């Protein structure tokens, strides 16, 4: 449970008021316009994801929200506070895990927790955090002896040492192998079960769909789509996706002209066909293959992913 707020440290917000509100955030680094009018709201108890490729503006956005960077224009309030003018008060209400956590090699795990706890007026018992994040047996271990996953779990523990209202996680699983990522997913899911408010950035499609209640897809400094993962997929209008493998290459333009086919793209030897009526599209495709003397080798039916939504909105693949 969250501890009681510190008297006078921040205004009391109604339960239905956004915990974070950003309006028309803009930020430029020289000739690079990193943010070009970011707008978003995050409500209490949500796991909110900023999803986008590297360089989309996610980290700049989260740094502005936590008060580490000032926008060139626009406004932001966090927990009822202005990060640019009230950063000292704000730090009592937020916890942050940055892309890289760097501590002295010979600092012990429990020393790191004690040090970070000393920065705040309200604190969680370090012994509770060690147990919660599976680090109790590593409490005396030096930082440089920890595995990548253990370092990331320690970073999450440090982000929660002040029992924050808002937890900010910048690429929490970047560079970790699949097994360790699943471990971090479980920890974030636990934060969600506690009704914590979490803002995370990610460039992993699966991660956003699995963890987040709401997602803002960010591309080149703008929010290009906003909603629940299911809403974004439904709004894409792509319906069902057919992943088709054939013996000879297809003409994508000819396939697009078949009954019930909305789009066709070739990717890594497969043809991705989008349709609102799978049965009609499959029948039309089989007839087309028969006429072309082509063989259907394999066919998979699935619903579109958030990556499909991104391609639909931007015309390019996520990693491009």
Q: What is the pLDDT of residue 319?
A: 63
Q: What is the pLDDT of residue 1?
A: 34
* Structural domain boundaries enclosing 265: 239-303
Same domain? For 228 and 167 the reply is yes
State pLDDT tens for residues 64-102.
Answer: 999 999 999 999 999 999 999 999 999 999 999 987 788
Closest CA to 149 of 176, 130, 129: 176
State pLDDT tens for residues 225-237.
Answer: 999 998 888 776 6
Q: What is the largest CA-CA distance in the chain?
A: 77
Report yes or no on 5 lying in a domain: no
Q: What is the pLDDT of residue 4?
A: 36
Report yes or no on 215 lying in a domain: yes
Q: Dig out the tokens for 208 from the structure.
A: 């956003």
Out of 233, 262, 277, a domain closes at 233
Report yes or no on 319 lying in a domain: no
- Return the CATH number at 92: 3.40.50.300
Query: What total number of domains does the chain contain?
Result: 2
In this prediction, the residues of the chain whose per-residue pLDDT falls under 70 are: 1-12, 236-238, 315, 317-320
Q: What is the pLDDT of residue 236?
A: 67
Question: How far lies 139's CA from each of 49, 119, 142, 174, 270, in Å?
Answer: 31, 20, 8, 24, 50
Same domain? For 24 and 105 the reply is yes
The pTM of the full predicted model, rounded to 2 decimals, is 0.79
Same domain? For 71 and 94 the reply is yes
Q: What is the pLDDT of residue 292?
A: 94
Q: What is the pLDDT of residue 307?
A: 78
Report yes or no on 309 lying in a domain: no
Q: Report yes or no: 109 and 141 within 8 Å, Cβ to Cβ.
A: yes
The partner residues of 207 in beta bridges, in order of sequence, read: none
Same domain? For 220 and 167 the reply is yes
Count other Cβ atoms within 10 Å, centred on residue 320.
Answer: 8
Q: Report yes or no: 23 and 76 within 8 Å, Cβ to Cβ.
A: yes
Q: What is the pLDDT of residue 8?
A: 37
Q: What is the pLDDT of residue 7?
A: 37
How far apart (Å, rounded) are the C-alpha atoms in residues 143 and 122? 25
């Amino acid at each position: 449970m969250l501890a009681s707020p510190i008297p006078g440290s921040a205004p009391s917000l109604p339960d239905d008021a956004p915990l974070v509100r950003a309006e028309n955030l803009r930020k430029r680094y020289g000739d690079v316009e990193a943010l070009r009018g970011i707008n978003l709201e995050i409500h209490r108890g949500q796991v909110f994801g900023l999803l986008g490729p590297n360089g989309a503006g996610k980290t700049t956005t989260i740094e502005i929200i936590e008060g580490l960077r000032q926008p060139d224009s626009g406004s932001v309030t966090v927990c009822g506070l202005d990060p640019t003018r009230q950063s000292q008060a704000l730090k009592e209400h937020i916890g942050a895990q940055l892309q890289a956590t760097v501590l002295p090699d010979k600092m012990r795990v429990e020393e790191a927790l004690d040090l970070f706890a000393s920065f705040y007026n309200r604190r969680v018992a370090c012994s509770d955090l060690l147990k919660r994040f599976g680090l109790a047996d590593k409490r005396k271990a030096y930082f440089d002896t920890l595995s990548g996953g253990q370092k990331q779990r320690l970073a999450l523990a440090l982000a929660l040492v002040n029992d924050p209202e808002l937890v900010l996680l910048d690429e929490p699983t970047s560079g970790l192998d699949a097994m360790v990522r699943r471990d971090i997913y479980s920890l974030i899911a636990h934060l969600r079960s506690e009704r914590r408010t979490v803002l995370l950035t990610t460039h992993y499609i699966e991660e956003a769909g699995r963890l987040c209640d709401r997602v803002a897809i960010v591309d080149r400094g703008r929010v290009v789509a906003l909603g629940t993962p299911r809403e974004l997929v439904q709004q894409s209008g792509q319906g069902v996706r057919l992943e088709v493998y054939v013996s000879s290459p297809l003409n994508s333009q000819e396939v697009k002209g078949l009954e019930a086919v909305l789009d066709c793209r070739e990717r890594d030897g497969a043809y991705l066909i989008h349709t609102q009526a799978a049965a009609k599209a499959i029948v039309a495709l089989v007839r087309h293959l028969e006429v072309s003397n082509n063989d259907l080798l394999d066919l998979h039916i699935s619903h579109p992913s958030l990556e499909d939504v991104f391609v639909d909105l931007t015309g390019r693949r996520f990693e491009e």
